[in-house]
Structure 1
Amino acid sequence: MPQVPAARHTQTQVIREQPPARRRSGKSFWYAPAAVLGDAVAAALPVYLAVAWVNSTHAAAYATVAAGAWLLVRGARDRYAERHLAEGDNVVPALQDWLVLVGLLAVVRAATGEESPFLLVLAALVPCAPVSAVVHTMLHRHLANCRRGGRAVRRALVIGEPNAVDGLVSHLARRTDHEFVIVGVCPIGEADPHVLAPIVARLGRQAPSRMSADSAPVLEAARRLGVDVVLVVPGPHLAGTRLRRLSWALHGEECPFVVVPGLTEVFGRRVGVFSVAGLTMLNVAPPLRRGLAALLKVVTDRLGAALLIVLLAPVFTAVALAVRLDSPGPVVHRQTRIGRGGVPFTMAKFRTMVVDADRLRHQLAATNEQDGLMFKIRCDPRITRIGRVLRRYSLDELPQLFNVLRGHMSLVGPRPPLPDEVARYDEVELRRLSVKPGLTGLWQVSGRSDLSWDETIALDLRYVDNWSPSVDVDVLVRTVRAVIAGTGAY
């Protein structure tokens, strides 16, 4: 039976028992004003200081125009909508908006004949993007933490056939950082779903002749529970005209109506909505594999790896010397890994284990702490003293920059698997090999070895199916924090 996480389930009970006057408390209404204020300050303050340094007379006016233009661009691109504030990817959208801002101000300046110190203002606007990205990231984290505690959430009623209800509620229950708390379900037919949420109404399997036969029990349950949104999972017995009539009733009560199509782990940018002959259809774009974005990734990988190798040359030297002095054996450990399309390659790492580690692995097989195909032990006796330090800060991975430079790996991608792991992959797990493995990736920034095998596969497939340059930028930014924290590194 699917289980609802204790914290969220307890909070569901608490919210359901609160009086109607308090049901709307703890919403996220203040996040958008906070984001607006942060963006305004990010644009106005540096422009004011820069212009005041040259000509204090017009400093306030320039600062006001800069802030207004920045807010106009961000607002026009819907950055203050709650669904965007809940997203973790803020760096690339901020950079995109900044380019639009610069273009907009350049056009306005040319059209009005303004003779302002454009280069000075342009330099002053540089902090806009990073400061706004930091502000929105902080708000995202605060919002996610609030939702984990059952605050700033939307009370949801789920309607659908029992199996569909079970699937949706169970999927939402696996994570607690989203906006929905399921306070009730309304199954189609006499069978009961297995979820822990209470059954608050029930609809017949066949569409009734009177619209109110469907809408009346749903509306009564929505009013009684103080529902903020109704989630509907369409199916053979809830589609077409019946679904449309139910939407009429809910919209008449100003209750949001959301249809859940059943797609999972598909980012919104890949989904487009269109109509044909009165039918609403979803177009799911294929993952990015070719084109300008893919070329940009290749160029960024090669140039980024070359630059890092040059900049980190002193670190390479220091680590190599430490490994050499710590224990006998080669400085660099070379191991066969499987790359894109199942092609093997030789991956390099600074040695962090004793020389005969591969032989000892078979003797330690019974102590494996992973639940899947990976082999991990928190206190692995094969790891050397300096090896623990290198693993703690991921310094052992640095030689893989040469693999990136040679095209075997990417800066960002799934973890490069061993041949014996790949030999036991099923069809779903083999999809990890659709892209190049990475020096870092969602696995590395989400807990690394502390994650279960299923969580590891889910993260890798999310990356494979939804890759974009903005995803890579987000992972690289999060990698810095993950390396410093060292969570799951052993």
Structure 2
Amino acid sequence: MSSGNWRASYVRRIGIVDACVVIWAVVGAHLIRFGLDGDAEVAGAPYTTITVLLPCAWWIMLGAWGSREPRVLGSGPDEYKRVFASGLWLFGTLAMVSYAFQMELARGYVGFAFPIGIGGLIAGRWILRQHLGMERIKGRSTAHVLLVGGSRAVAHLAEALRRFPQSGYSPVGAYLQDTDNELIDGAPDLPVHRGKQATGDILAAVRASGADTVALTAGLHFSPVTMRQLGWELAASNIGLIVAPALTDIAGPRIHTQPVAGLPLIHVTTPKLEGGKRVAKRAFDIATSSLLLAGFSPVMLIIAICIKSENPGPVFFRQERVGILGAPFIMHKFRSMVVDAEQQLAILQDKNEGSGVLFKLKVDPRVTKVGAILRKFSLDELPQLLNVFLGSMSLVGPRPPLAVEVDAYEEHVRRRLLVKPGLTGLWQVSGRSNLSWQDSVRLDLYYVENWSLAGDLVILFRTAKAVIMREGAY
């Protein structure tokens, strides 16, 4: 299926789902509020009329707000934001009109229709996304991209796109300058086209590779006139154009485009965990950890009894870890190993299955029977809620490292220590023990560079899924 065809088909599916959801939400609200009574009126008109017109207006508003634009579909939060904003504006306008003309619209009617509709629309979009993601993993419903730039930048971009096929961009070729003789190490199988970086050469590479999108990345030597001419030629051939700057591991909310003197300048802001943001994160940690401690206290009591009955020794395992800015703290966990586990570590070092400076064994002889169950469901980490409540840890953050690990850090890795370590984090929801050391570092640094409270909430929801699926837990 060509790029245009799958996009049009996907937009049609979304339109059908949107129509079904808004009709279901408004008709459902009518039945909940009024039942089958057909005599209910507002401003002299029957509610049935509003129930017919409101879904039509809502569906039109979703399109007018750009929630079905191909550019925002399939990944990222922008689609969900537009869905929510369109509904908020529609019902906000309805409320103002109702107030201005004293229509006395039933609150229960709106109170049911709005949350049911928004929830249903977002759920519908999410389900369609999951289906689209599976299609893209199979190599379907993707944009075929020709990567244009220097060999290193092209290799980096190709590797990133292939690592995340759900993004919907599949590299089908690379265009390098004749003088660029370096190999594309990250994608050795990628067909390479060469030329003098002229518009005609790139268009010929587009036709030869079957690309429907061109991605321009670092290493280009285009003049502004050539760049503009290329944009015109690609637009005339209905070929998409993407500019991928040499900015890695930077979240979308940090990037802002501002036109200055006819130039689209990209501004990159730095998230700072201070002031109100620091207070908000700390308040969220205290409130959530206290609720979780109260809710899990019966479970923790049962775990403590099981540990004590199976193996003599302390219930808790206390270990010094390195926290924010390198400050040491004592981290608490339920003991899942034999009492002399630390003394046996030296004997097992040659069997290490971890990556980098981390020590991990899939089948660790030091783990007790109760401990194996606790680790399987991450229940051994429940006492860390006390660390969160007391302030030495946060609910979300980088993995709390040992002092010996910190001593082995490269200089750039020490940026992990700029925020509090977390009970969970990107490392927890992205594979845990299955991750390489480089990927663990990359994810932790990404979190430090792109922290947000909304991002923390997303990670917490993903953590619940990772724990249930037991992804990478050993």
> Shared fold (TM-score greater than 0.5)?
yes
Equivalent-residue separation in structure 1 for 2:87 and 2:457 (angstroms): 16
Instruction: Go from structure 1 to structure 2 and tell me whether the alpha carbon gap of 1:190 and 1:384 turns closer, same or farther (over 3 Å shift).
Output: same
Show structure 1 runs of 5+ residues with no match: 1-21, 205-213
Q: Note the C-alpha offset of 1:381.
A: 0.8
Equivalent-residue separation in structure 1 for 2:470 and 2:379 (angstroms): 11
Q: Note the C-alpha offset of 1:368.
A: 0.9
Q: Note the C-alpha offset of 1:444.
A: 1.2
Mean Cα deviation higher: 39-48 or 468-477:
39-48
Q: In 2, are the aligned partners of 1:160 and 1:238 still within 8 Å (CA)?
A: no
**Residue 143, structure 1, aligned to residue 132, structure 2:** yes
Which of 1 and 2 has higher RCO (CA within 8 Å, sep 6+)? 1
Q: Note the C-alpha offset of 1:335.
A: 1.1
Equivalent-residue separation in structure 1 for 2:87 and 2:394 (angstroms): 27
Q: Note the C-alpha offset of 1:128.
A: 3.4
Q: Note the C-alpha offset of 1:306.
A: 0.9
Q: Which of 64, 67, 79 lines up with 2:67 in the alignment?
A: 79
Instruction: Go from structure 1 to structure 2 and tell me whether the alpha carbon gap of 1:393 and 1:234 turns closer, same or farther (over 3 Å shift).
Output: closer
Mean Cα deviation higher: 397-406 or 64-73:
64-73
Partner residue in 1 for 2:462: 478
Q: Which of 141, 158, 167 lines up with 2:156 in the alignment?
A: 167
Q: Note the C-alpha offset of 1:115.
A: 2.0
Equivalent-residue separation in structure 2 for 1:478 and 1:449 (angstroms): 16
**Residue 202, structure 1, aligned to residue 195, structure 2:** yes
Q: Percent identity?
A: 36
For 1:158, what is the secondary structure of its paired residue?
A: strand
Q: Which residue identity is paired with 1:482?
A: A
Instruction: Go from structure 1 to structure 2 and tell me whether the alpha carbon gap of 1:281 and 1:84 turns closer, same or farther (over 3 Å shift).
Output: same
For 2:239, what is the secondary structure of its paired residue?
A: coil
Q: Note the C-alpha offset of 1:35.
A: 3.5
**Residue 243, structure 1, aligned to residue 227, structure 2:** yes
Equivalent-residue separation in structure 2 for 1:98 and 1:343 (angstroms): 47
Matches within 5 A, 1:26-425: 27-55=6-34, 56=36, 57=38, 61-64=49-52, 67-68=55-56, 70-71=58-59, 74-75=62-63, 78-87=66-75, 89=77, 93=81, 102-195=91-184, 196-203=189-196, 214-235=198-219, 237-425=221-409
Q: Note the C-alpha offset of 1:26.
A: 7.2
Equivalent-residue separation in structure 1 for 2:90 and 2:400 (angstroms): 40
TM-score between both structures, scaled by the size of structure 1: 0.86
Equivalent-residue separation in structure 2 for 1:228 and 1:399 (angstroms): 53
Instruction: Go from structure 1 to structure 2 and tell me whether the alpha carbon gap of 1:346 and 1:84 turns closer, same or farther (over 3 Å shift).
Output: farther
Would you say how many aligned residue pairs link Structure 1 and Structure 2? 460
Equivalent-residue separation in structure 1 for 2:58 and 2:442 (angstroms): 37
Q: Note the C-alpha offset of 1:462.
A: 1.9
Q: Which residue identity is paired with 1:478?
A: R
Partner residue in 1 for 2:446: 462
Q: In 1, are the aligned partners of 2:33 and 2:108 still within 8 Å (CA)?
A: no
Instruction: Go from structure 1 to structure 2 and tell me whether the alpha carbon gap of 1:39 and 1:89 turns closer, same or farther (over 3 Å shift).
Output: same
Partner residue in 1 for 2:410: 426
Equivalent-residue separation in structure 1 for 2:61 and 2:272 (angstroms): 27
Instruction: Go from structure 1 to structure 2 and tell me whether the alpha carbon gap of 1:49 and 1:489 turns closer, same or farther (over 3 Å shift).
Output: same
Q: In 1, are the aligned partners of 2:172 and 2:210 still within 8 Å (CA)?
A: no
Show structure 2 runs of 5+ residues with no match: 39-45
Partner residue in 1 for 2:434: 450
Instruction: Go from structure 1 to structure 2 and tell me whether the alpha carbon gap of 1:144 and 1:41 turns closer, same or farther (over 3 Å shift).
Output: same
Mean Cα deviation higher: 151-160 or 275-284:
275-284
Instruction: Go from structure 1 to structure 2 and tell me whether the alpha carbon gap of 1:278 and 1:98 turns closer, same or farther (over 3 Å shift).
Output: closer
Equivalent-residue separation in structure 1 for 2:85 and 2:321 (angstroms): 37
Q: Which residue identity is paired with 2:452?
A: S
Give a deviation string over 1:75-97, Cα, whole Å, max 9, x none. Answer: 45543334433226589846676
Q: Which residue identity is paired with 1:437?
A: P
Mean Cα deviation higher: 386-395 or 90-99:
90-99
Q: Note the C-alpha offset of 1:226.
A: 3.2
Instruction: Go from structure 1 to structure 2 and tell me whether the alpha carbon gap of 1:429 and 1:179 turns closer, same or farther (over 3 Å shift).
Output: same
Instruction: Go from structure 1 to structure 2 and tell me whether the alpha carbon gap of 1:352 and 1:66 turns closer, same or farther (over 3 Å shift).
Output: farther
Equivalent-residue separation in structure 1 for 2:331 and 2:64 (angstroms): 46
TM-score between both structures, scaled by the size of structure 2: 0.88
For 1:238, what is the secondary structure of its paired residue?
A: coil
For 2:359, what is the secondary structure of its paired residue?
A: coil
